[in-house]
Structure 1
Amino acid sequence: MIAYVTVGADDMARAERFYSAFLPALGYGLDKYHGDLSYTLPVEPGQSPMLPDFYVKKPFNGRPAVAGNGNMVAFEARSQSQVRDLHAAALAAGGSDEGQPGFRASYGANFYVGYLRDPQGNKIALYSSNPDEPGRDG
């Protein structure tokens, strides 16, 4: 089980603006600790934490943050319209488009996805696989 995912950022204000444009709509709350960002899902009393957590941090070694080639973090949305709305919100908050929301021929018929880069260059996917919505073929 994945417990948490961390991406690096040099400009925490830009990172917070970008990630706070869509993660709260997916249920994540934000805590700040020593200037870093911790996005976590709420925990009901007596329940175990919902994982994974998502952290945005300055690199521990003090060097500039760099995006990994081939690395990507995907967040599940409730619907295709939420994917479109959150993709647009993230773009307006300083992200760059890496692939407009839609279906892709190489994925399953119900996999609706939009791709972004955060201000540091990390690749982010927002997707929905809601079987109650129309798929690629129908």
Structure 2
Amino acid sequence: MIAYVTVGADDLAKAKRFYSAFLLALGYTLDEGPEGLSFALPVAPGQRPVYPDFYVKPPFDGAAASTGNGAMVAFEAGNQQQVRELHAAALDAGGTDEGQPGFRPNYGPQFYVSYLRDPQGNKIALFSSHPNEPGRDG
């Protein structure tokens, strides 16, 4: 099981604006400290986390943050409308479009997805594959 995902950022204020635009709507909480931003889903007392935490931090080696070629982090939304809303919110918060919300011919008929780049250039996907919503072929 994946415990956490970390992406690097040189400008934490820009990263906070971008990631808060959609992660808070997905139920994540934000803990901000000198080491960076920590987003996590709430955990009921006595329970273990189900989803990975997401961290945005300056690189530990002190060098500039860089993006991974082929690396991407995907977040699941509740439905197609939420994918559209969160994609727009992330763009308004400093992200850049890498693919408007919609179906892709190479994925399953229920997989509705949008792609973004955060202010540092990290690739982010927002998706829904809710079985009760219209599919690509319907």
Pick the TM interval, shorter chain: over 0.9
The answer for unaligned runs of 5 or more in structure 1 is: none
Cα RMSD of the aligned pairs, angstroms, is 0.6
1:5 maps to 5
SS at match of 2:88: helix
Give runs of aligned pairs for residues 55-66 of structure 1, distance below 5 A: 55-66=55-66
Which residue identity is paired with 1:16? K
Instruction: State how far apart, in whole Å, the 2-side matches of 1:31 and 1:62 are.
Output: 22
Cα offsets for 1:19-64 (capped at 9, x unmatched) = 0000011110000121400000001111112320000000000000
**Contact 1:42/1:50, CA 8 A, preserved across alignment:** no
Cα distance, 1:91 vs structure 2:
0.1
Which residue identity is paired with 2:136? R
The answer for unaligned runs of 5 or more in structure 2 is: none
1:43 counterpart = 2:43: yes
Instruction: State how far apart, in whole Å, the 1-side matches of 2:106 and 2:51 are.
Output: 28
4+ residue segments displaced more than 6 Å: none
* TM-score, length-scaled by structure 1: 0.98
1:34 counterpart = 2:34: yes
Q: Which moved more, 1:44-53 or 1:74-83?
A: 44-53
Instruction: State how far apart, in whole Å, the 1-side matches of 2:62 and 2:35 are.
Output: 14
2:121 maps to 121
Instruction: State how far apart, in whole Å, the 1-side matches of 2:93 and 2:32 are.
Output: 19
Percent identity (aligned): 73
* TM-score, length-scaled by structure 2: 0.98
Cα distance, 1:77 vs structure 2:
0.2
2:130 maps to 130
